[in-house]
Amino acid sequence: MKNNNQWAFIVNPVAGNGHSLLVEKELIAELKKRNIVAYIVRTERKNHAKTLVRELAEQGYKTIIAIGGDGTFNEAGSALIEFPEVTTGLIPAGTGNDFAQILGQNEKFTEKDWDIFFEAKTQKLDVGRCNGNMFFNGMGLGFDAQVASENYITPDQVKERSKNLYVWHILKNLLFYKERIFKTSTNGEMHKTLGFMNTISIGRRYAGDFFITPKAIANDGLLDVCMVGKLSLPQRLNILMKVPKGTHLDHKKVSYYTTDKMIIEVNKKSAYHLDGELFFDTRFEIDILPGKLSIIYNPKGNHFFGDSN
Q: Which of 97, 52, 95, 309 is nearest to 203 (CA)?
A: 97
C-alpha dist (Å) from residue 122 to 30, 68, 178, 208, 291: 20, 19, 43, 24, 12
Whether residue 303 lies inside any domain: the answer is no
The pLDDT of residue 307: 65
Residue 88 sits in the same domain as residue 180: no
Residue 182 sits in the same domain as residue 98: no
Q: What is the pLDDT of residues 102-117, one digit of tens each?
A: 999 998 999 999 999 9
Whether residue 301 lies inside any domain: the answer is no
pTM for this model (two decimals)? 0.89
Whether residue 309 lies inside any domain: the answer is no
Of the pLDDT bands very low, low, confident and very high (cuts 50, 70, 90), residue 5 is: low
Lowest-confidence region among 5-14, 200-209, 229-238: 200-209
Residue 118 sits in the same domain as residue 137: no
Lowest-confidence region among 72-86, 100-114, 160-174: 160-174
Of the pLDDT bands very low, low, confident and very high (cuts 50, 70, 90), residue 16 is: confident
The pLDDT of residue 153: 54
The pLDDT of residue 2: 42
Of the pLDDT bands very low, low, confident and very high (cuts 50, 70, 90), residue 166 is: low
Rounded CA separation 111/165 (Å): 35
Whether residue 307 lies inside any domain: the answer is no
**Between 246 and 135, the higher pLDDT residue:** 135
Q: In Å, how far from its chain's centre is CA 215?
A: 16
Q: Letter for the amino acid at 164?
A: N
Residue 143 sits in the same domain as residue 281: yes
Residue 79 sits in the same domain as residue 190: no
Indicate whether 78 pLDDT > 60. Answer: yes
Indicate whether 85 pLDDT > 90. Answer: yes
C-alpha dist (Å) from residue 192 to 98, 181, 227, 248, 309: 31, 7, 12, 22, 37
Residue 70 sits in the same domain as residue 141: no
What CATH number does residue 260 fall under?
2.60.200.40
Q: What is the pLDDT of residues 211-270, one digit of tens each?
A: 999 999 999 999 999 999 999 999 999 998 899 888 899 999 999 999 999 999 998 899
Residue 117 sits in the same domain as residue 160: no
Residue 20 sits in the same domain as residue 91: yes
Average pLDDT, the chain: 90
Residue 142 sits in the same domain as residue 93: no
The pLDDT of residue 156: 43
- Quick check: 38 and 65 in contact, CB under 8 A? no
- Quick check: 197 and 211 in contact, CB under 8 A? no
For residues 15-27, give the mean pLDDT.
Answer: 94
For residues 63-69, give the mean pLDDT.
Answer: 96
Identify the domain containing residue 83 by its residue range.
7-127+291-296
Whether residue 302 lies inside any domain: the answer is no
- Quick check: 248 and 254 in contact, CB under 8 A? yes
Whether residue 306 lies inside any domain: the answer is no
Q: What is the total count of domains within the chain?
A: 2
Residue 137 sits in the same domain as residue 63: no
Residue 137 sits in the same domain as residue 258: yes
Give the end-to-end CA distance of the chain in Å, rounded to a whole number. Answer: 32
Whether residue 278 lies inside any domain: the answer is yes
Q: What is the pLDDT of residues 266-299, one digit of tens each?
A: 988 999 999 988 999 999 999 999 999 999 999 9
Indicate whether 4 pLDDT > 90. Answer: no
The pLDDT of residue 309: 45
Residue 121 sits in the same domain as residue 142: no
What CATH number does residue 109 fall under?
3.40.50.10330
Rg of the chain, C-alpha, whole Å:
19
